[in-house]
């Protein structure tokens, strides 16, 4: 008998997947730094390149995996990606040089593109009016995973910088086994469509969004928000270590707090706010909070201030689910994998550009030869990007309302034809 799809299945799968990623975040920059003899500046550039390579692979393969999930279902795509990620962690655990890390980031980027299929899974089992709230489960899964992942990674990293890779690999393979045993398929056979390379290459998938004017308009907002967010994976560990002299354990604790708040905001608060304000106002509120908090990160002079900002800044996490819900409403059931792959490609482009940009700004403004010492420059730049995202969102909402009003004016009233309307 066919098992009934449930959000709980994909949620647990994502939590375990994110837990594995969270384990290595506190230690990867430090490990790269060790290959450069302890040079923070050199490590910043290398770490930025590693992150960009990961994002490049996701950019190329996210639409492919999304389209494959539209053709063959979400389950096989998610499971194959998880297995590849688990193997990759073990390769990195024994990597003898930086070259191996670059190879590992290529594999991780390809297999990490499975989030498009996971998001499509959520869209499959959610009615349109509940998608924004249920997309919040992705953020909540990130939150729950990052509560334990970075904290545990920080503790294990104090023992040995390679140990978190082994633990992450084991958890990811357990995640794969869990999915193989209990994760049901969510895409009904009648909602599947043929695979097309024209739609599955990253450029084609993005151009395909032009068929949906409102969705295409909101992709600019989605991209700028994603680009602004890259400052966190790019320089968080380096920035807090340089400016506040945080240890690996303290960094892990800060990420755990961020994860806890993300779980609360995206797993529960987003549902309440979207139900009361609607998706458009929720997105506007989230972007505005993000613009303010990014600047505050750059200004903060004491480490304790960062913890307060993590709590307030978590409200910006409502932006993603709200925008994603609005975009998802515009496409049919047989295109959810494709649209999520397109969004994943945009997020990957932001990683390709944003992470090296953030690390580059950080390295430049802390350089010994730079008279203007401004460690928070990358956070100020992210704040500017959020302002741009807000302006694009407001324009998209205004255009959509104008279009609806124009359509309403053309509806015949009391038997009159459209041509009779003045």
State residue 118's pLDDT score.
80
C-beta of residue 26 within 8 angstroms of C-beta of residue 251: yes
Confirm whether 412 is domain-assigned: no
Question: What is residue 198's predicted lDDT score, i.e. its pLDDT?
Answer: 67
Rg for the chain (alpha carbons), in Å? 22
The answer to whether residue 202 sits within a structural domain is no
Question: 3-state class of 14 per DSSP?
Answer: helix
Q: What are the structure tokens assigned to 232, written together?
A: 């966190």
Q: For 337-391, write each residue's pLDDT tens digit.
A: 667 777 777 777 887 788 889 988 998 888 777 777 888 999 999 999 999 999 9
253, part of any domain: yes
Model confidence, pTM: 0.68
The answer to whether residue 414 sits within a structural domain is: no
Give percent of the chain with pLDDT exceeding 90. 18
- The mean of the pLDDT values for the chain is 80
Token readout for 93 is: 């655990």
Copy the structure tokens of residue 40. Answer: 């923070």
Asked whether residue 39 is domain-assigned, the answer is: yes
pLDDT band of residue 224 (cuts 50, 70, 90) is very high
Alpha-helical runs (H) found in 183-318: 197-200, 202-207, 213-229, 231-244, 248-264, 270-277, 279-299, 303-313
- Paired tokens of 91: 């390769």
Largest CA distance in the chain: 81
Write the secondary structure of 134-190 as one string of H (helix), E (strand) and C (coil).
HHHHHHHHHHHHHHHHHHHHHHHHHHCCCHHHHHHHHHHHHHHHHHHHHCCCCCCHH
Domain assignment present for 417: no
State the total domains in the chain.
Answer: 1
Q: Does 158 score more than 90 pLDDT?
A: no
Domain of 144, in residue numbers: 7-184+210-404
Establish if 421 belongs to a structural domain.
Answer: no
Residue 337, CA atoms < 13 Å, CB-side half-sphere: 32
Element (H, E) at 368: none
Give which of 363, 337, 382 is closest to 44, Cα–Cα. Answer: 363
Phi/psi at 338 (nearest 5 deg)?
A: -65, -45
Asked, for residue 418, whether it belongs to a domain, the answer is no
Write the CATH number for 376.
1.20.1250.20
């Amino acid at each position: 008998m066919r098992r009934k799809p449930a959000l709980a299945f994909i949620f647990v799968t994502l939590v375990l997947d994110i837990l594995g990623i969270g384990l290595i975040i506190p230690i990867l920059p430090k490990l790269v730094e060790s290959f450069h003899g302890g040079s923070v500046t050199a490590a910043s550039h290398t770490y930025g390149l590693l992150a960009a390579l990961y994002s490049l692979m996701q950019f190329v393969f996210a639409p492919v995996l999304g389209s494959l999930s539209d053709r063959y279902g979400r389950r096989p795509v998610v499971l194959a990606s998880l297995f590849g990620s688990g193997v990759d962690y073990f390769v990195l655990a024994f990597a003898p040089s930086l070259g191996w890390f670059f190879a590992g980031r290529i594999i991780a980027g390809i297999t990490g593109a499975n989030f498009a299929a996971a998001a499509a899974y959520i869209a499959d089992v959610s009615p349109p009016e509940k998608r924004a709230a249920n997309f919040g489960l992705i953020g909540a899964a990130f939150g729950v995973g990052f509560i334990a992942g970075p904290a545990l990674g920080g503790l294990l990293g104090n023992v040995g910088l390679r140990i978190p890779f082994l633990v992450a690999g084991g958890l990811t393979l357990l995640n794969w086994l869990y999915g193989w045993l209990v994760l049901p398929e969510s895409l009904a056979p009648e909602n599947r469509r043929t695979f097309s390379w024209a739609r599955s290459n990253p450029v084609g998938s993005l151009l395909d969004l032009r068929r949906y004017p409102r969705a295409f308009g909101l992709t600019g907002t989605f991209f700028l928000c994603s680009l602004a967010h890259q400052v966190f994976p790019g320089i968080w560990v380096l920035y807090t270590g340089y400016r506040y002299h945080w240890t690996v354990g303290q960094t892990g604790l800060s990420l755990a707090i961020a994860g806890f708040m993300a779980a609360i905001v995206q797993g529960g608060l987003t549902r309440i706010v979207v139900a009361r304000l609607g998706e458009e106002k929720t997105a506007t509120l989230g972007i505005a909070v993000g613009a303010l908090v990014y600047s505050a990160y750059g200004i903060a002079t004491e480490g304790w201030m960062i913890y307060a900002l993590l709590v307030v800044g978590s409200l910006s996490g409502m932006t993603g689910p709200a925008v994603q819900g609005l975009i998802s409403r515009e496409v049919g059931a047989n295109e959810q994998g494709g649209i999520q792959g397109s969004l994943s490609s945009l997020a990957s482009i932001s990683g390709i550009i944003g992470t090296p940009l953030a690390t580059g700004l950080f390295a430049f403004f802390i350089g010994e030869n730079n008279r203007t010492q401004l460690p928070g420059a990358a956070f100020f730049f992210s704040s500017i990007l959020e302002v741009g995202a807000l302006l694009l969102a407001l324009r998209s909402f205004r255009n959509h309302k104008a279009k609806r009003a124009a359509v309403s004016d053309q509806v015949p009233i009391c038997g009159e034809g459209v041509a009779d309307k003045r």
